[in-house]
Structure 1
Amino acid sequence: MQRLIPTGNPARPVAFTEAAQPVPAPDEALIRVEAFAPNRGETFLLERPRPGLLPGKDVAGLVVQAAADGSGPHVGTRVVGHPPQGGWAEYAAVPTHSLAALPDGMGAVQAAALPLAGITALRLLRAAGSVTGRRVLLTGASGGVGHYVTELAAAAGAEVTVVTATPSRGERLSELGAAAVVHEVAEARGPFDVVLESTGGAQLPIALSKSAPGGTLIWFGQAGRTPVTLDFFDLLAGPEGATIHHFHYAGAPYGPDLTTLVRLVDEGRLHPEIGRVADWARTADTLVDLRERRIRGKAVLTTGTHVAQGAEGAQGPQTAQVAVSTPETAGTAR
C-alpha cells in the first residue's frame, strides 16, 4: 500500500513510499482510509521528525477488517477515527475505542475534519464549565478548533469575542455566532469571564489582562511558537484572583466524543469549516500552507486506490482531484 512518511525537509515535509499493510492489534479495526485531515501541530513535528514517526491522527473511511476481540464496528461500516499515528496511508489500524460510525448522509471529507479539532473544542469547553451567559474571549480563532469552539460556545449561550489575523478570517466566525471579531488581542473589550488562549508569546499576558476579577484563562496552545513571559507586577495591576489552567486535549478513549461530534453535525448543529479539499498527492503543499496559516479552518486530503507516479518522489495516487471546490470550501485559503 501507499503511505506518506516524513522527509525532514520543511519545504516538502512528506513523500510517498510503499509500505506493508498494517496488522491490527486485537482491539483495532483495519480502516481503508478515504480522507484524512492534517493538523497544524503535526506540521511542527515534521520539521524535525523523530525516528519512526508515521503521521496522521484524523481519518475517515471504511472498516475492512473488524477487531479480533469483537469490539467496535463490523466490516462495511463507514467510520471516523482518531488513531495515535499512521493515518496518512491507504489503510490504518485504529483502536475501536477511538472510532465512531457515520450516518448515511455524512461524507468522509466532512467526517475527517472532526477528530482532533472537534475533540479539543468539546473538552476545552468542558474544562471551562458552563459558559451560558458568560463572556468568552478566544484567541487564534480562525483554525479548526476556533471554528468549533465559537459555534459550540455561542450555541450554549456565551457571548464570544474572537481574535483573528484578518477581517476575511473573521467573516465565517460571525456567521457561526461570534458576537465580536477583533484582529488584535488588545482590541478586545473586556472584562471576560473565560479566556481561551492558543497563541502564546506576548499575546497571553495581554489576553490575561482582559480577564474579569476571579476569571479563568485556559491555555491550550502556543501557535505563535514564542515562549510566554509573565510579569508578577503586571498581574498585580491586572485581574484580581485570575486563574491560569494548562490544557491538553489528549486522552483515549475518543469514540464517545467522536460520536457526539458526528451527532451534532448530522443534526445541523455543528458545521465543519473546511478551507481546502485536495487529492493526497498535494499533501506536501497543503502541509506548508497549513503551517504558514494560508488555510482557514481545516484542510482535508482524499486518497485513491489506484497508484501512479506522483510528484512528491516515489509513488503517488492516480486520482487527481486538485482543489475540489464545494460549498464548504467557499472562501478557501487566505
Structure 2
Amino acid sequence: MLAMTPAEPATVTRADVDPPMPRPHEALVKVAAYCVNRGETFQLEQPPAGWRPGKDIAGLVVQAAADGSGPAACARVIAHPSAGGWAQYVAVPTDALAEIPDAVATTTAAALPLAGLTALRLLRTAGAVAGRRILLTGASGGVGHYVVELAAAAGAEITAVTASPERGRRLVELGAAGIVHDVDAAPGPFDLVLESTGGPALPRALARLATRGTLIWFGQASRTPVTLDFFDFFAGPESAAIRHFHYLDSDVALADDLVTLVRLVATGRLHPEIGLVTDWADTADVLVQLRDRRIRGNAVLTLEEQ
C-alpha cells in the first residue's frame, strides 16, 4: 500500500505503510480522489510525529463497518477522516462519511468536505441571513465560494473581498451582490462580517460592522497576529460582538452535514469550484500552487488503479 507522508515544507514523498485495520465503527474506504487544502501546506511545515495528512476523500467502501453502521460495501462515499486521507485505503468512522448520489461525480464530491462543512456550519452559526448585509473576506478560496452561493441563495446581500478581478466575476455568478478588492472599499455598514484573513484586515473589517452587528472570525490566512483597540468600538460598531468559529464545534454529525452537501450538489443548488484535477503523483506541486494562491477554489488529486 502507498500513502503520502510529509517530507519538508510543501513537499511530500510516497511511502509504504501498513494497511489500516478498521475498528468496529469504521468502514474501510478505497480512495478514488482526495482534495488538498491550503491549510495543509501550513501543517506540513512542522508536522506532528507520525501524522499523515488528508481530510477530504471520496471513494468506494470495500469493507463495511463491523458494527453494522454506515454504508454497505461497494457504496460510493464522501468522507472526512481526521487525518491520513492521502492514501489508497483509509479507515473512516461511519459518522464521518456519507453515500454519494449517482448524479455527483467522485472528483466533485472529494472537493466538498472541509470547505463545504466550514461554509455550511459557518452560516448555521450566523443564524438567519435573509435580508442581512454580509461582508466576507478571503472570498476567493474554496470556503468563500461555498459561503457566497449558500448565503445568496438564503437571501443575504453579500459583499465579497477578493484580490483578483477574475475570481470576483465568478463570485458574482454565484450570487455575490458586490465585489471589492480591499476591505476599506467595502460599502458598509454590514450586519455580519465573516472574517478569514486575520492580521490588519480584521480590525478594518470590524470598522465596517453596524451597531450590534457580529463579526465571526473563522480563519487566519494571512498568518499575521491581530491587534485590536477596543476603543474602536465607539467609533461605529457599538455593542458589536466578535465570535470565534471552528467548524468541528457542532451539534450536527459530520455524516449528516455531508449528506446535506452532496444533496445540494445533486440538486444543482451548490457548485463546487474546482480549479485543478490531476494525478496524486502531482501532490507536491499542487501544494506549492495552493500555498502561492495559484489555484482558484479546490484542487483534487485522483488515484489510478494499482
TM-score range, shorter chain: over 0.9
Q: How far off is 1:230 after superposition?
A: 0.3
1:182 aligns with 2:180: yes
1:263 aligns with 2:263: yes
**Pairwise mapping of residues 243-262 of structure 1 onto structure 2 (< 5 A)?**
243-251=241-249, 253-262=253-262
Q: How far off is 1:305 after superposition?
A: 2.2
Aligned to 2:111: 113
Q: Any idea what SS the aligned residue of 2:36 has?
A: coil
Maintained 8 Å contact 2:216/2:242: yes
Indicate the percent of aligned positions where both proteins have the same amino acid.
Answer: 65
Alpha-carbon separation, structure 2, partners of 1:186 and 1:93 = 46
1:170 aligns with 2:174: no
Maintained 8 Å contact 2:233/2:239: no
Aligned to 1:210: 208
Q: How far off is 1:113 after superposition?
A: 0.3
Letter in 1 for 2:269: R
Alpha-carbon separation, structure 1, partners of 2:232 and 2:268 = 44
Cα-to-partner distance string for 1:60-107 (whole Å, 9 max, x where unaligned): 000000001110000000000000111000011110011110111211
Aligned to 2:297: 297
Maintained 8 Å contact 1:90/1:305: no
Maintained 8 Å contact 1:64/1:76: yes
Cα-to-partner distance string for 1:44-68 (whole Å, 9 max, x where unaligned): 0001111011100000000000001
Q: How far off is 1:13 after superposition?
A: 1.8
Alpha-carbon separation, structure 1, partners of 2:248 and 2:40 = 14
Q: Would the alpha carbon gap of residues 214 and 251 (structure 1) be closer, same or farther in structure 2, given more than 3 Å must change?
A: closer
Aligned to 1:135: 133
Aligned to 2:70: 72
Maintained 8 Å contact 2:6/2:12: yes
Letter in 1 for 2:167: R
Alpha-carbon separation, structure 1, partners of 2:156 and 2:102 = 32
Aligned to 2:196: 198
Letter in 1 for 2:209: S
Maintained 8 Å contact 2:30/2:89: yes
Structure 2 unaligned blocks of 5 or more: none
Given candidates 113, 119, 122, the residue that maps to 2:120 is 122
How many residues align? The count is 304
Q: Any idea what SS the aligned residue of 1:22 has?
A: coil
Q: Any idea what SS the aligned residue of 1:37 has?
A: strand
Aligned to 2:155: 157
Cα-to-partner distance string for 1:262-288 (whole Å, 9 max, x where unaligned): 000000000000011110010001011
Q: How far off is 1:235 after superposition?
A: 2.3
Alpha-carbon separation, structure 2, partners of 1:103 and 1:256 = 14
Letter in 2 for 1:101: E
Q: Any idea what SS the aligned residue of 1:304 has?
A: coil
Alpha-carbon separation, structure 2, partners of 1:51 and 1:59 = 22
The RMSD of aligned alpha carbons is: 0.9
Alpha-carbon separation, structure 1, partners of 2:288 and 2:218 = 22
Q: Would the alpha carbon gap of residues 227 and 151 (structure 1) be closer, same or farther in structure 2, given more than 3 Å must change?
A: same
Alpha-carbon separation, structure 2, partners of 1:292 and 1:227 = 20
Q: How far off is 1:251 after superposition?
A: 4.4
Cα-to-partner distance string for 1:214-247 (whole Å, 9 max, x where unaligned): 0000000000000000012222213111100000
Structure 1 unaligned blocks of 5 or more: 307-334
Maintained 8 Å contact 2:199/2:220: yes
